[in-house]
Structures are given as structure tokens and as C-alpha cells.
Amino acid sequence: MGAFSALSSPKFCFNRHSFTLPNQPATKQQIFHRRFNQRKRISITCSALNSFGANLPPLVVVGSANADIYVEIDRLPKEGETVSAKTGQTLAGGKGANQAVCGAKLEYPTYFLGQVGDDAHGKLIIDALEGGGVFVDYLNVVTDAPTGHAVVMLQSDGQNSIIIVGGANMACWPENLDLEVLKNAGVVLLQREIPDSVNIRVAKAARTANVPVILDAGGADAPFPDELLHYIDILSPNESELARITDMSTDSFEQISQAVDSCHKMGVKQVLVKLGSKGSALFTEGEAPIRQSIVPAAKVVDTTGAGDTFTAAFAVALVQGQSKQECLKFAATAAALCVQVKGAIPSMPDRVSVMRLLQAHFGIAV
């Protein structure tokens, strides 16, 4: 058995179908009912997992959920220009929802904590989360704001430009946010498509519970609050986000390393940098960086959600006890599958597909 034995033969027997929530779309009342019974549900879930031979600490994703409005175009319009789209459709997405579905499709128990509006887009997202096997006990339906949405301008080469409307992601968060689920978590994933104040509250609670926090830097381009950086364990930006955080150039690996040093000085011990076609690198303070090249995709259809797939897959491998290098390989493999399918949530790969490509590309017996 190769280095990925724990990934190919997990230390647990988890059958999502045993815990899948009802197939019918969740109503606002049903979701509120779930929230009133959270503690009971957590106890039942832990007992059920124990019956399969393991008490797994779940992946908890706190973040955004959007309706992604896709328009396929040959090129971006110039200033003052109108262009026609080839096609248009609306799919479920948002960095938080993407990462949650990715975790669940990689066969790891995953909770999503976020907000949607009481509207058709909210129903679309709930259906997608439940269909992906995500526990939505902590998903709020709000009546004072619409579901967040994004306009995704997808070009013929698979590259995209995105405009986000925050909606419920940025409004109406309760003062007394129920974070009970964090106490039993294995890792927490955050992004910047929800208010920094919410991320800080979650990160503080996770630190109190000794649960590691990974913050995906994607989302708001506002300065990072020092308090937020103090409570995260791994910061995961891409090159442009790293440049914005540090106000430094990131055109070369040497410059990226210098920018990461600046992050270390801000209090972040580990920085996981997504480098696009150049792969990725994990920087741990006081250690040599670990670099990982991309896993080539058979075709690139849509890069939307690739970064979310990478971060979530890394988190799943990490919570399963894999080495840092193995986590990077697993994440790169998952991202390579993601870009071959249009849409964010629809493109999240399943575990079997990831393991097959992992074996084919790295030649590892799994």
C-alpha cells in the first residue's frame, strides 16, 4: 500500500446515504426546526458515526452561498460595449457552499453554516447542498435580504471574471451565532464572502475549541483585520490575493516567498499559496516551502471553483492525518478534475475519481 493508503482506504466507514437529509427541498420552517434541534442532531450523528467504527470530527465550512448566473462569451466587453452571450444559466455556488459540497463529495462528513434568502435562489442552493451530501442543520433562511448571487462571465478558454452581490451572505447575521458544531469539528474553513466580524467570531470559537482554521483569502478585497489573522492557522491566497494582502509583488517565486514572510510577521504560521498553472506551495514558518506542480487536466472547461476545490480537498486530507506533501497532491488532483466541468458545485469531484487520477498521475498504489 502506498503513501495514500489512508486516503484510499479511509480510517472510517462513512455512508452519506445513511445520513442524507430528506430529498424534498427544505422549507424555511424545516430549517428553523433543525436549528432548534441542533444539539440532539449532533449527538445522533456522533452515535451513528460511532456505529460505523469511528467518531469523525467533521469538516465545518462557514461562508457564502450564491446563485451563480453564468454567461458564456467569446471575450470580455470593452468599456461602453455590449456583447451577446452564447448561453446563460443559473447554478448553485459561492465559495462556502462550493467547499462544503467538495468536502462531502470526497466522502467526509461536512457541515455548512451560512445564510440564504427566502427565495428561489435560496431553494436552488439548499437543494444543491443536500444533494451533495452536506449537513445543513446550521443554514439560516433570512427574510430581510435576498440570496447572494454572482455574475460569472465565462470565456471560451475556460477563464472567468466574476461580479458578486453579497445579499444574505453579508446581512442579517444573528448576534448570538450558534457555533455549537465547532466543538466537535476537525477543521474549520472560512472565506471572505461573509462579514469579517463573523469570521472573527468563528475563528475565536475554533481556537477556544482547539480546532484548526483555514482561511481562503478569496472574496472581499478590503484589508485583513489583524484580529482575524491572529486566530487562523493556515491562510490560503492565490498570487493576486497575496499581493493585495501584503502590498508586495508576487511575479516570481522569490517575490512570493518574500510576501509570505510578511504574512508570517502578521502572525500567520502557515500560508498555502495557489499558483494557478504553476501549481501550489505550502509555506510553514521556519521550514522550507513545499511545492506542488499542477495535475494536467484533459481539458479546461471552466476554472470557477477550482480554488475552492483545492482548499477543501487539502482540508479533507489534512483532517485525515495525511502529510503536507500528500495533502498538496490530493488537492491538486481534485482541482484538475474540477476544471473539466462547467459550474462550481456541479464540478466538485467525487472521491473515487480523485483516487483514480491520483494513481494514474503519481503512480502511487492506492
Q: Give me the active site residues, please.
A: 308
Instruction: Say which amino acid occupies 42.
Output: I
Q: Grid coordinates 444539539 are at which residue?
A: 39
Reported as half-sphere exposure (CB side, CA atoms, 13 A), residue 38 has a value of 21
Q: Which of 112, 174, 119, 177 has its CA nearest to residue 147?
A: 119
Instruction: Say which amino acid occupies 233.
Output: D
Residues 6+ apart with CB under 8 A from 19: 45, 48, 109, 135
Residue 98 grid cell: 462550493
Distances (CA, A) of 356 to 8, 122, 142, 211, 361: 10, 34, 41, 31, 9
Question: Chain centroid to CA 260: how far?
Answer: 21
Distances (CA, A) of 114 to 69, 313, 318: 20, 20, 23
Q: Is 93 helix (H, G, I), strand (E, B) or coil?
A: strand
Q: Considering Cα of 115, then 189, then 52, then 210, what sign does the dihedral take?
A: negative
Distance in angstroms (rounded) separating the CA atoms of residues 44 and 283: 39
